[in-house]
Structure 1
Amino acid sequence: MESLTLRASPSSTASPLLRLPGRRRAASVRVSASGAGEPDLSVTVNGLKMPNPFVIGSGPPGTNYTVMKRAFDEGWGGVIAKTVSLDAGKVINVTPRYARLRADPNGSTKSPIIGWQNIELISDRPLETMLNEFKQLKKEYPDRILIGSIMEEYNKAAWHELIERVEESGVDALEINFSCPHGMPERKMGAAVGQDCALLEEVSGWINEKATVPVWSKMTPNITDITQPSRIALKSGSEGIAAINTIMSVMGIDLKTLRPEPCVEGYSTPGGYSARAVHPIALAKVMQIARLIKEEFPEGRSLSAIGGVETGNDAAEFILLGADTVQVCTGVMMHGYGLVKKLCTELQDFMRMHDFTSIEDFRGASLPYFTTHTDLVQRQKEAIKQRKAIRMGLQSDKDWTGDGFVKETESMVSN
């Protein structure tokens, strides 16, 4: 018999904005096959049912019909397409636009890649072309989850038009790019919005009054406290948070040419840093957002974790912190779409080790073990005190008991 776990439903006191017709909140029903041989990787988030929690992150792996179809065929739980806007004509990419950091300080080509930088912009393909491909994908894979990533200038009418057109293509949800660290900040796009809480609140309001499918707000790590914009996005009506986007970086300087990397006609620009090296930073940011959701949004919100995922264990860490889904972008660029099979196998191995039958069995299990440094000091003092007490044995004659007499005697014997 299948066991059923129901997450908290939205509060009846929620504002009208949070109950727009057609919008699906973060409340989720997860079904696990108790006693089944294989751990169940399926998840349901904001009403979106996925065979596993692994989602293609917005970027090159979701840039056109061919590659998104490949992702579905390989078994990814969902696909988030590369970010689109109304006017792709403004988007002009350069090449080379990637740079890599290897574990070997000498830069050996055989050394493992631990860091990846890109200066790539959002989709440079016409919006209508992308929308037609979304429609085709949903026609061929009606039961698979396709999420549209969108970004627009500081213009309410433009945001509303973009949302309407993308929703008409049949996407299951929207991810809002409030986090691209480079590109067109002068037009108040990407991280320029995510780093300005007042601007974020206004734009989030425009988006959530128009959208009829679930909205995930993608947050930038290039900010002092990621919980501040996350809180605003959620209070403005977003069903979930996705984090983190790439970290602003300069990959390095070529010590032979003295030019920065990646080098385009002798020049470069700061870009977004990803891959394994950012994973610890992403874990910290995801932990902070997960605590925010648990403490301030008891009716439930969803969390999609991103950052340096190349193994099932990387994903398990994010889920243990409270993530519902785990996104992979750079990992696919380095290892290919078949990576999802490895991720699923390794995540199931982890689940078997702990006798977990479903994702929900361990989601958020590690979150309660984070505290303050002051509390750590107090906990250690108390633990040392207790250990000393055990080594010293009884403190006075009143502590003797009949049942434990022999052990109590032994505790005070010097060897």
Structure 2
Amino acid sequence: MMSDAYNNLAIEFCGIKSPNPFWLASAPPTDKAYNVIRAFEAGWGGVVWKTLGEDPPAVNVSSRYSAIYGKNREVIGFNNIELITDRSLEQNLREITAVKEAWPDRAIVVSLMLPCEEHYWADILPKVEATGADGIELNFGCPHGMPERGMGAAVGQVPDYVRMVTAWCKQHSKLPVIVKLTPNITDIRHPARAAHQGGADAVSLINTINSITSIDLDRMVALPTVGSSSTHGGYCGTAVKPIALNMVAEIARDPETRGLPISGIGGIGNWRDAAEFIVLGAGCVQVCTAAMLHGFRIVEEMKDGLSRWMDAQGYRTIEDFRGKAVPNTTDWKYLDMNYKVIAQINQQDCIGCGRCYVACEDTSHQAIARLVDEASGKRTYQVIQEECVGCNLCEITCPVQNCITMMPQQTGKPYMNWTQDPRNPRAEKVPTAA
């Protein structure tokens, strides 16, 4: 058994101890003992075992995956139509028991998905508890295949069902209950509140997003293709990280769920991604797509990077910085209307490509001037300060990192948000000092 050298990464998440916050999410990488053992040998702190269900087990189709590619065929978005485990309940329970006995220091959480009838949950929970597993995760997020059977996202989209099933699990099991939430909903706070009301020990999010990644224009069918047809699947990978971060933050700062432990999921592929989820309130993170694309050994770089960053920042434990960005995350109406930045171009770093000029001239505020030296023909670009609104578009389009920076301006004006702004027809009156 491999020991974990990164002592500052140890966590306790809703009573579950783990040598580090990096867990594998419930998915193909955690489908069987062989995979999980390889993951633990590589250094993962825990796994959420691929979702168990009733017998007979689910039957999967072929093919199952598709992707959206960036440059050099880098996978930026991943889509799947795979269902929960297609192995028997007895076989999964036997393997979970054996792996937990062999790796007592690693977290093993068992994902579950069953019909919305109490007797199914009352029957399976003692069996899971007998394996020695550390907790259960209720899969209320799967967006394909299972919702048609009244499970997965069909439960997660109805707060009353979330509350009801969570309460059943708390009644019939002593294990920590983690509720996995679907992002395919208008307001993530409602099912999170319902889980909290049902007694959930934690929530995990996000599950995958309904998607069709692409169409084969020759065959006129979406990918992945099963015979001559296809269906929507679950989208994950780097592309979903911004959505996941927002939903984690919404739960972390909601007064009704504030303090509820969160396991962050969605597009995590390196230590920095993990740190971003943690500063928004996550107590651990779950990884799937990055492991499927690059293998289990990516966790070593994740642990090393996070540990080194913590040392550099003076953080002794994960708890020292967990949630630190939550107080700085607010509603738009509370942002400072008097804060101002202006773009600044470093002429020494500028390569004269003109991308900032084109973007600003065509689609923004015409705040960049293109100057041409008559003698040499050399082009230079300068910000027209009185026209710049500080939108960041030029900085984003510039191919040279840090060539364009957004410089704060001294306005001499105090903080004023939109609820106080006289330009707001519904502005609130600001009390004056006595």
TM-score higher than 0.5 here? Answer: yes
Residue 20 of structure 1: aligned partner: none
Q: Quick one: structure 1 residues 387 and 82, their matched pair in 2 at CA, closer, same or farther if it must change by over 3 Å? A: same
What displacement does 1:297 show?
A: 4.8
Structure 2 gap segments, 5+ residues each: 341-388, 390-408, 414-434
Is 1:296 the equivalent of 2:264? no
The answer to whether 1:143 aligns with 2:105 is yes
Tell me the matched-pair count: 343
When the two chains are superposed, the root-mean-square deviation of aligned CA atoms in Å is 2.0
Contact 2:162/2:198 (<8 A) preserved: no
Distance 2:281 2:222 in 1: 38
**Residue 100 of structure 1, aligned match among 67, 71, 75:** 67
Q: Deviations over 1:244-297 (max 9, x none)?
A: 0000000110123222100110110100000000011110011111112xx335
* More helix by percentage: 1
Uncovered stretches (5+) of structure 1, i.e. residues with no partner: 1-36, 105-109, 391-415
Structure 2 distance, partners of 1:44, 1:184, is 32
Change (3 A) 1:38 1:154: closer
- SS of 1:365's equivalent in the other structure is coil
Residue in 2 that maps onto 1:313: 272
Where relative contact order (Cα < 8 A, 6+ residues apart) is larger, the structure is 1
2:34 aligned to 52, 66, 69, which one? 66
* SS in structure 2 at match of 1:380: coil
Residue in structure 2 matched with residue 351 of structure 1 by the alignment: 310
Confirm or deny that 1:48 pairs with 2:71: no
Residue 143 of structure 1 aligns to a residue whose secondary structure is coil
- 1:43/1:191 CA distance change after superposition, 3 Å: same
Please say which of residues 166-175 and 349-358 is displaced more in the overlay: 349-358
TM-score, length basis structure 2: 0.76
Match of 1:114, SS state, is strand
Residue aligning to 1:7: none
Q: CA 1:297–1:100 in 2, change beyond 3 Å: closer, same or farther? A: closer
Alignment deviations for residues 41-77 of structure 1 (CA, whole Å, 9 cap, x no partner): 1111122211110001000010001001111111111
So what's the TM-score if we normalise by structure 1?
0.79
In structure 2, distance between residues paired with 1:321 and 1:297: 14
Residue by residue over 1:132-182, the C-alpha shift from the partner in whole angstroms, topping out at 9 and shown as x without a partner, is 001101111122211110010121101111112111111110000011111
1:356-375 map, 5 Å: 356-375=315-334
Alignment match, 1:401: none
Q: 1:372 to 1:283 in 2, by over 3 A?
A: same
Aligned partners of 1:204, 1:61: CA distance in 2, in Å? 26
Mapping of residues 7-406 of structure 1, within 5 Å:
40-89=8-57, 91-104=58-71, 110-292=72-254, 295-297=255-257, 300-378=259-337, 380=339, 387-389=410-412
Q: Which amino acid aligns with 1:296?
A: E
CA contact (8 A) 2:338 2:411 kept: no
